[in-house]
Structure 1
Amino acid sequence: MANVTAADVKRLRELTGSGMMDCKNALVDAEGDFEKAVETLRLKGAKDVGKRAERTAGNGLVAEYFKGEGDGTLLELNCETDFVAKNESFIELADKITKFAAESGVADVPALLGAEIEPGKTVQALIEQNSATIGEKLELRRFVHFTGAYVASYLHKSDPQLPPTTGVLVQLDKVDPQVARDVAQQIAAMAPKYLTFEEIPADVIEKERALAETKTREEGKPEAAIAKIVDGRVNAYLRDFVLLEQAFVKDNKKTIAKLLDEAGVKVERFVRFKVGQA
C-alpha cells in the first residue's frame, strides 16, 4: 500500500474541494496516484449528485464581468461550504459562466443554464460536472446584465480569505466613476430595495400601513390624528429601503438624491446580490 501523507491529502483536497477523509481514502485506493484519485472522487461525486440535490447551497461568491464601461454583468454562484467557495476551480467556473452570460445575451437563469457554453455541453451540464468533481451541490442562483451610458460595480469581501459575497451593479445616465463607486458602496452597505418611492409595490405599502395603523391604535392615539401618524410612520420606515431617500454614508447631512443632483447624474437602475439572501 502506498504511503499517503497529510500533505498529499491536503493537496488533493485543494485540487478537488472534496472532504479530508474522502481524499485520503481515494489516495489509498489509488495507491498514491493523483490522477486515479481525482477520477475516483469524480465518480463518487457523480454517483451522489442526486443526494446532494436536497442539500442547501448557502455559501458561494459573486462574480463580475465587463465588456466595457457601459456593459457589465453580475452573477451569484452557490456551493455548500466556504471551503469550496475559495477553491480555485470553483472561482474559475464562476468567472467562466459570468463571461459567457455577458457575451451570450441570454435573458434569464433558465436560458443561461440551457445555453451551450462548450461544444455539446450546456451551462447546467458544466455545473453538474464540476459538482461531481468537487463533491458538493453547486447552484447558479441569479445574474443580471446591464448596458447603458455607464455601468459600474462594487464587490465586497466579508472575509479576506474568501471571494466576494456581496456584489452591486449600478447604471448611471452618464460617465462618473467617483459617483458610481460612492453609490455602489452605499448600496452594498445599506441594502436599499428600490430606487424611488414610486417603485415600491402597492401591496408592500398597504401591508406596512396596516401594521402602522394597528400599532397606532393600540397606543391609544386620538382618532383624528391616526391617519397623519400612520403616514409618517410608513414613510419613515420605507425611506430606509429607497436609495434616493437614504442618507449618504460618507456624509449623512445629504441624501443620495442630493449627492446625485450636485453631480448632475442620475441612477437608472441597480442590483445588489448577497450570497444566501433574497
Structure 2
Amino acid sequence: MANYTAADIKALRERTGAGMMDVKKALDEADGNMDQAIEAIRIKGLKGAAKREGRSAAEGLALAKVVDGTTGYLLEVNAETDFVAKSDKFVSLAEKVLDVAVENQLASAEALLDAEVEGKKVSDYVTEEGGAVLGEKIVVRRLEKISGAYVDAYLHKTSKDLPAQVGVLVAVDAESESAKTAAHDVAVHAAAMSPSYLTREEVPENLVADERRIAEETARAENKPEQAMTKIVEGRTNAFFKEHVLVDQPFAKDPKVSVAKVLEEAGTAATGFARFRVGN
C-alpha cells in the first residue's frame, strides 16, 4: 500500500491543480514522496503538450495594467475551452505572465515568451503549467505596450460568467481630469465600436487605394454621373475611415460628434491606442 494519506492527496491537488485520479496515480508511482509526485505530474503535462500542439486555443482572456498612469500593457492569453478560461488557475497564470511583461517593460509577445519567470522561459512555463495544471494548450497570443501623458485601460466582459474578452488601452497627451474622463469614455467606445486604427495616417496606403477603387467601380456599376464621380469616391472613402479609424468614428454616446471632437473639447488628443478581442 502506498505511503500517503488523504491529507497528502488534498495537499498535492492544491499545489498542482491536477485531478484526483492523476494525483493518486502520481503518489502511487512516487510511493508517497510529494516532490517526486509533483515532478511526475509536471512530466505528464509536458507529454500531453505534444498532443495538444495542433489543437485550437480560441478562448481566453484579455488583461491590462497601467503603470504610473502613463504606460499601459494589454495582454491576450488563450485556452482551448471557456471552462478553463474562467478558472482561477488560468487567470492566475495569465496575471503572472502579465507581471513579467510589466516588470521587464516588454512590448511584444515574442519578447515576453523569451523572458524568464521562476527560472525558466515564459514559453516553457506556460507549456508546463498549462499542461500539468490545466490540461489544455495555453497560448500567449498578443502583447501591446503604449505610453502617453495619461493612459486609460478598459476591460469588457461579453459574458458575466467569463473573464474579460475585450481589452482596450487609450493614451492621451494631457493628464487633466477632463482628459482622463475623455480617455476613459473613448476606451469604452473603442471596446464597443471595434476601430482598427488610431488615425487615417495609420491605414495602409494599399488598403486606402483598394477602397477608392472599389468605391469608383461600384459607382460606375450604379451608373452614377461622371461629373459626380470624384465626390462620390471621396464620400465613400470617408465612410470607410469613419468605420475603421478611432478618431474619425462617431462617438458612441453622441454620434453627432466624432471621437476626435470629444477629445478636443476635453483639451487633449489621442496619441496611442490598442484593442484586443479574444480570438479575433
Q: Following superposition of structure 1 onto structure 2, how do residues 1-278 of structure 1 map, counting pairs within 5 Å?
A: 16=17, 23=19, 25-26=21-22, 29=25, 42-119=42-119, 121-133=120-132, 134-175=134-175, 176-277=179-280
1:213 Cα deviation (Å)? 1.8
- The answer (yes or no) to whether the contact 1:85–1:163 under 8 Å persists in 2 is yes
1:39 Cα offset (Å): 6.7
Q: How many residues align?
A: 263
Q: Which runs of 5+ in 1 are unaligned?
A: 2-7
Q: Tell me the TM-score normalised to structure 1 length.
A: 0.85
Corresponding letter in the other structure for 1:84 = V
Deviation of the 1:148 alpha carbon: 2.4
Equivalent position SS for 1:195: coil
C-alpha spacing 1:163/1:38, structure 2 compared with 1 (3 Å): farther
**CA apart distance, 1:67:** 2.4
**CA deviation after TM superposition for structure 1 residue 247, in Å:** 1.3
Q: Would you say the 8 A contact 2:73–2:144 is kept in 1?
A: yes
> Which segment drifts farther, 40-49 or 68-77?
40-49
Residues 26 and 41 in structure 2, CA contact (< 8 A), matched pair in contact too: no
Question: 1:100, 1:26 → 2: CA distance?
Answer: 30
Question: Aligned AA for 2:191?
Answer: A
1:102 and 1:145 in contact (8 A); partners too: no
**Could you give the per-residue CA deviations for residues 107-157 of structure 1, whole angstroms, max 9, x where no partner exists?**
4222211111222x1111110111221111111111112232111100000
Structure 1 residues 139 and 246: CA distance shift in structure 2, 3 A: same
2: CA distance, partners of 1:201 / 1:53: 34
CA deviation profile, 1:35-56 (whole Å, cap 9, x unmatched) = 7997765443321211211111
- Change beyond 3 A, Cα 1:27–1:99: closer
Task: Give the aligned residue type for 1:215.
Answer: T
Contact 2:148 2:272 (C-alpha < 8 Å) held by counterparts:
no
The DSSP-based 3-state class of the residue aligned with 1:240 is helix
SS in 2 for 1:214: helix
In 2: Cα distance, 1:80 partner to 1:38 partner: 24
Tell me the alpha carbon deviations over residues 168-213 of structure 1, each in whole angstroms, 9 at most, x when there is no partner.
0111111132111101001101111122222221111111112212
For residues 68 and 215 of structure 1, what CA distance do their matches in structure 2 show? 50
Deviations 1:6-47 (A, max 9, x none): xx9xxx79x74x7xxxx46536756999x7997765443321
Larger mean CA deviation between 70-79 and 220-229 belongs to: 220-229
The amino acid across from 1:26 in the alignment is D
- The question of whether the paired residues in 2 share the 8 Å contact of 1:77 and 1:139 is answered with yes
3-state SS, counterpart of residue 48 of structure 1? helix
> What letter corresponds to residue 189 of structure 2 in structure 1?
Q
Matched residue SS, 1:151: strand
